[in-house]
Every structure is written in structure tokens, then in C-alpha cells.
Amino acid sequence: MENFKHKSTAQSVCHISVNQIDITQTAQPSAMKYETFVIKEANLLKQQTVYFFLKSKGISESYINKLRKKSGLILLNNTPANLKSSLKENDILQIAKDPSTKQTQFGNNSTAQSLQILFEDDDFLIVNKPHNLSCMPSRSHFNDNLGNLICQYMQKQNPNFVLRIFNRLDRETAGIVIIAKNLFSYNALQKHRKDVKKEYYALCYGNIKEKTITINQPILTRTENGINILKREISPKGKSATTHLKVVKNFENYCLAKFSLDTGRTHQIRVHTSYINHPLLGDRLYNSIQDCKNASHTMLLLKSISFQHFRTQKIIQIEVDFPQDWKQFLK
């Protein structure tokens, strides 16, 4: 179960490892869920209305527009209200956590994969994605993907669930994936995106003598006949990208390295390690140096992640173990 450690500050930390969550639970019937506010200092608002209160809380215009769609998405003192409704001190304002009218509909999942849940509450679902599983449907993986597994799981809690993955991983990359259960939690996480700390681990070709390396090289999406293709490349025309590499251990002809990113470009670690001639083991797209037969996929793992929960203010820290097929390389 969750292990809480309290700091001397107002924040507390929730440490979670892969084996700590018991996901056995009884499915609850779906019902509209609300975010509740007690109105204080209403006189400081530009206008004392629901709209200007929501804007003062940093709620996006797109979210607010969804609240216009139908009655019951805004409640004021338990009575349906609208964005023009007047507010006074100590009013109780409730807005729908997920005012979307469209649910996510994917195919039927035919894979034997199961969902490995690391953390769950009313706002977030955090799972451990294995290698060789796409996050989202594609032409070749329409049924067997993480999105399908998540939607099937969430149907028991909310038949109108809309899939919102905060951090998508490449199909061959394993590790931690955060799913926002409602639009409110998704917007809150996006607003503080740069404060979400991630640590990736990878097996790189060759030995790296330096203990740490910082790679600052812009990354460009390649095009053919004006159409974007999967592969990226280093180019002065690309978007800025910064990768910090720290060598954990050198083995005979490869090494284990830890990575943190200042930017989040597609394939960033894969492109940057290839650029310094230490491509990832198993990376058939960017590794032209070595025979990848010993690795059935790109050896890249999002191993740990931490962020401050917008509601509880606790620091959620989650870490997973290395996948089983890594063990032979780490002996």
C-alpha cells in the first residue's frame, strides 16, 4: 500500500513501488463528479460571476466552453447555474470534472496483456507499460494497445470515460504512463508539465568514458515528398533539445545510462545517443553500428516519475523495476 513520508515543509511524499498497490476493488456506478469551491473574497473578482471566478483559478477557456454545453455541469449552492450566475461570499460552487460529451471508443483488445496499475485515485491512473505495446491505436495495432486496456478498465468506473494520456511512450519503450481521469486533472498536470520529473534508463552501445554528458542538439522531423516520416534527425532547422546523460555502469561492450530531459522531443534520447555514437541497444531505427539480435526491442525505460498532486499537494513518486529481459544485460 502507499507509504507516506512527511517532510518538514507543508508537502508530503507518497512513495510507490511496482508491488505496492492492491488493485482489487468493486466497480462503482457512474455518476457526475464535481470539483467543489467555497467562494472567498468574491469582491476581488473583476466581476462576481462564475466565469470570472473560474478564470481567476487559471481554468482554461476551452474547459469553460465545455461547461456551456448543457445544464447541470455547473451547480451553485446545489442548484443548476451558468457562467453568468452571480457569486457571493461563502457560496458553494461545483463544476463538472469532466464535461466532455464524447467517450473514447477503440477496438476490442485481443491481446493477453494485462494492465499493471502503479497508482490510482479519483484524478489519476498510473500504469507500467511493457515493451512492444503501443500507447494508442494504429493501423497495425488497432486492438492491441495500451489505450484499449485503459478504456476497458475504466468502463467499469465511468462508461463515458475519455482517454487522456499525459505522457505517451514509443511502442518499444517501457515504463510509467500517467492517465488523467478527468479534464480538470489533465489541465492541472499540463499547467505544471515542466515540474513533472522523469528519469529514463537505457542500454547504450559501447563504453562511455565521461561520467556525465549534456547533449544540446536540435531535432528535426524528417519529411519525404512533404510528408512527415517516423525518423528524426539532428538539424539546425530543428527544435531545440537538451539531454543529460549519466553513466551508471560500463559493461564489456555496452553501458547502462540514466537520462533526464530539459525538452520532450519525439525520439529525443534515441536521436541524441545515436548522434554521440552510442545508440541504444535494439534500436533498429537509429542504431547502424551493431547487430541488434540480442535485444528484441529498444532498451529504453521510463523508470521513475514524480509530480505534485494538484489536489492533495503530496509529491507522488513512482519507480518501477527493470523488465525481466533486461536482467541478462545487467549481470
Q: How far apart are CA 296 and CA 231, in angstroms?
A: 19
pLDDT digits (tens, 9 = 90+) for 139-164: 655 567 899 999 999 988 888 788 99
Annotation marks residue 170 as catalytic: yes
Q: How far apart are CA 290 and CA 282, in angstroms?
A: 9
Q: How far apart are CA 117 and CA 127, in angstroms?
A: 4
Please say if the pLDDT value at position 17 is more than 50.
no
Other CB atoms within 10 Å distance of the CB of residue 285: 17
The DSSP annotation for 46-97 comes to: SSSBHHHHHHHTT--HHHHHHTTSSTTSEEETTEE--TT-B--TT-EEEEES
* Total-model pTM: 0.79
- The pLDDT assigned to 228 comes to 59
- The pLDDT assigned to 227 comes to 56
Closest C-alpha to 147, from 121, 165, 174, 128: 165
Given a contact cutoff of 8 angstroms between Cβ atoms, the answer to whether 139 and 164 are in contact is no
Q: How far apart are CA 117 and CA 289, in angstroms?
A: 37
Please say if the pLDDT value at position 257 is more than 60.
yes
Q: What's the whole-number mean pLDDT along residues 232-244?
A: 95
Bridge partners, 319 (sequence order): 17, 304
Q: Which of 91, 123, 144, 170 is catalytic?
A: 170
Q: Which domains occur in the chain, in start order?
A: 35-96 (3.10.290), 102-195+316-329 (3.30.2350.10), 198-302 (3.30.2350.10)
